[in-house]
Amino acid sequence: MIKKSIIKIISKRKGTNFDLEYSKINSLNDKAKLLEFQEKHLKKLLLHAYKNVPYYHRIFDEIGLIIDGRVNLSKFNKIPILTKDIIRKHYTELLSKDYTTKNWYYKESGGSTGEPIRIVQDDVYTHWRDAAERFYYVNMLNIDELSCKKIVIWGSWSDLFQSTKGLKAKISNLVKNTKLLNCLKMTEDDIERYIQIINSYKPDLVRGYSSSLYELCRYAEKKNLKVYTPKIVIGTAETLTPEMRGKIETLFETKLFNFYGAREVSGIAGECKEGLMHIFSFYNNIEILDGENKYVKEGEEGRVIVTNLHNYSMPIIRFEIGDMAVLGPKRCKCGNLLPTLEKVTGRITECFVKEDGTTISPVFFIILFLGVYEKRLFKKFQIIQEDYKKIRILIVPETSKDIPYKKDIEEKIKLMMGKDCKINWEFVDEIPKTKSGKYVYIKSLVWGKK
């Protein structure tokens, strides 16, 4: 209770208290209220963007979205898809005229491909972000993430290093029962030390990049090390395959929940106990579109398009975030009212693409290689599509450079990519992580050429 009170005091002094937003989310206890809330905030955001954001004022006039100060939501899907290239090209035009009057800050995003982009966010956005995450942990997972003992395995330079410097940050982490472990570079010595920290700290919650959790569990299994069992493990930021989930759940001996978010718009969806990803539709409006920008049906895969409902400093409207997902049912057995995604299948830049436009899911390649990976035949791997018919495979060998399943792997790849696909194997000492600490198994350079 004392720690919770201190947390509230710190939050209020920092201007990040989100009790009001959280209570508003909790009041959305039926489908009609949820839809009304979403429509109300979407219209409010669009009106603000029309009045204050030059880029959107021009676009909305072109499509007739707003007439006599009223929003026609039937024209919403006529708004051109926002891309990272558009943000770079029209950056100043996408800023709200009044953003300097708000408690604003920069957030950079870019991932492993391309030039980073800079987004302006503010304290109102932050309040809703924190409230949405609290709803997920408390209302869906039944754990108080704010005050429970937690280990966070993370790798963002800005989030990690800035948050661990200074007396105030250290006191905040202490009060919030948080231990941050850096995954920007994890040697075997680091992993062993992290396991010791987990075992001694005995956290209620462990949260981290899916690949980092997988590497930690794989090492623990290899060395026959026992890992403390928390109440919940959260994997985030990367594609999670069934094989990775199985390994993490086996070693931690508890359920792994997948959390889906992005730096540009924060929390998008969180997995429930029934295995579906519930969309935080009170925070982000999500569309799943096919290649012709048409809405997919339940069970179909498409591109994830996001509109954040609460960023008024730099409205992010119909943003193509770069992910692929399968649309889930409107209702889930768990009883939660939020709409669902069946699964997030990966980054678009992780999908291999053929010359005829056919895409090959990264899951195919990850499953193909993880089977060999688990036999201890090599330490790490990365598969890169360099051109439509050219693939490079990087391998960090365990001991020998001989890959017994090499021929079988090549045959299966050619079945998917074409018989004339050239496959080059390259043995390396290390495969570097991205600047944010993520380990990319699959990468297509073809998407950047399109």
Q: So what's the pLDDT on residue 183?
A: 75
Q: Tell me if residue 66 falls in helix, strand or coil.
A: strand
Who wins on pLDDT, 193 or 160? Answer: 193
Cα–Cα separations (whole angstroms), residue 421 to 73, 278, 362, 386: 46, 39, 17, 11
In a domain, 208, yes or no: no
- Does residue 258 sit in the same domain as residue 118? yes
Who wins on pLDDT, 258 or 117? Answer: 258
The pLDDT of 227-250, averaged and rounded, is 89
Confidence tier at 400 by pLDDT (50, 70, 90): low
Element (H, E) at 150: strand 150-154
- Does residue 92 sit in the same domain as residue 24? yes
Q: Tell me if residue 148 falls in helix, strand or coil.
A: coil
Are the C-beta atoms of 344 and 215 separated by less than 8 Å? no
Last residue of a domain, one of 348, 376, 411: 348
Could you report the per-residue pLDDT of 301-336, keeping only the tens digit for each?
999 999 999 999 999 999 998 888 999 998 999 999
In a domain, 14, yes or no: yes
Residue 100 belongs to domain with CATH number: 3.40.50.12780
Q: How far apart are CA 143 and CA 136, in angstroms?
A: 9
Q: Which candidate, 262, 183, 196, places its Cα nearest to that of 227?
A: 196
Cα–Cα separations (whole angstroms), residue 119 to 21, 56, 110, 354, 436: 22, 16, 11, 32, 16
- Does residue 18 sit in the same domain as residue 135? yes
- Does residue 270 sit in the same domain as residue 417? no
Cα–Cα separations (whole angstroms), residue 16 to 5, 125, 266, 436: 14, 10, 15, 24
- Does residue 317 sit in the same domain as residue 391? no
- Does residue 344 sit in the same domain as residue 357? no
Last residue of a domain, one of 289, 321, 348: 348
Confidence tier at 15 by pLDDT (50, 70, 90): very low
- Does residue 34 sit in the same domain as residue 133? yes
The pLDDT of 162-169, averaged and rounded, is 51
In a domain, 404, yes or no: yes
Cα–Cα separations (whole angstroms), residue 309 to 97, 124, 208, 209: 18, 11, 26, 26
- Does residue 322 sit in the same domain as residue 383? no
Q: Which candidate, 41, 45, 49, 58, places its Cα nearest to that of 95?
A: 49
Are the C-beta atoms of 354 and 332 separated by less than 8 Å? no
Q: So what's the pLDDT on residue 435?
A: 61
In a domain, 177, yes or no: no
Q: So what's the pLDDT on residue 111?
A: 47
pTM attached to this predicted model? 0.79
Q: So what's the pLDDT on residue 242?
A: 82
Last residue of a domain, one of 286, 315, 348: 348
- Does residue 361 sit in the same domain as residue 434? yes
- What is the number of domains present in the chain? 2
Within 8 A by CB and 6+ apart from 335, the residues are none
Which of 235-239, 258-262, 355-359 shows the lowest per-residue confidence on average (mean pLDDT)? 355-359
Who wins on pLDDT, 400 or 69? Answer: 69
In a domain, 185, yes or no: no
Q: Check whether 429 has a pLDDT greater than 70.
A: yes
Q: Which candidate, 272, 197, 198, places its Cα nearest to that of 230?
A: 198
Q: So what's the pLDDT on residue 112?
A: 40
Q: How far apart are CA 158 and CA 180, in angstroms?
A: 13
In a domain, 295, yes or no: yes
Q: So what's the pLDDT on residue 159?
A: 46
- Does residue 381 sit in the same domain as residue 260? no
Who wins on pLDDT, 386 or 209? Answer: 386
Could you report the per-residue pLDDT of 36-64, keeping only the tens digit for each?
999 999 999 999 999 999 999 999 999 99
Q: Check whether 437 has a pLDDT greater than 70.
A: no
In a domain, 209, yes or no: no
Are the C-beta atoms of 169 and 30 separated by less than 8 Å? no
Q: How far apart are CA 214 and CA 251, in angstroms?
A: 9
Q: Check whether 8 has a pLDDT greater than 70.
A: no
Within 8 A by CB and 6+ apart from 322, the residues are 84, 111, 304, 347, 348, 349
In a domain, 77, yes or no: yes
Domain containing 106 equals 1-148+231-348
Q: How far apart are CA 315 and CA 307, in angstroms?
A: 8
The pLDDT of 431-437, averaged and rounded, is 68
- Does residue 237 sit in the same domain as residue 336? yes
- Within 110-149, strands assigned E span 117-122
Q: Count other C-beta atoms under 10 Å from residue 362's C-beta.
A: 25
- Does residue 372 sit in the same domain as residue 388? yes
Helices (H), 31-109: 31-52, 54-63, 84-89, 91-94
Residue 442 belongs to domain with CATH number: 3.30.300.30
Considering only CA atoms, give the Rg of the chain.
Answer: 23
The pLDDT of 23-48, averaged and rounded, is 96
Q: So what's the pLDDT on residue 406?
A: 84
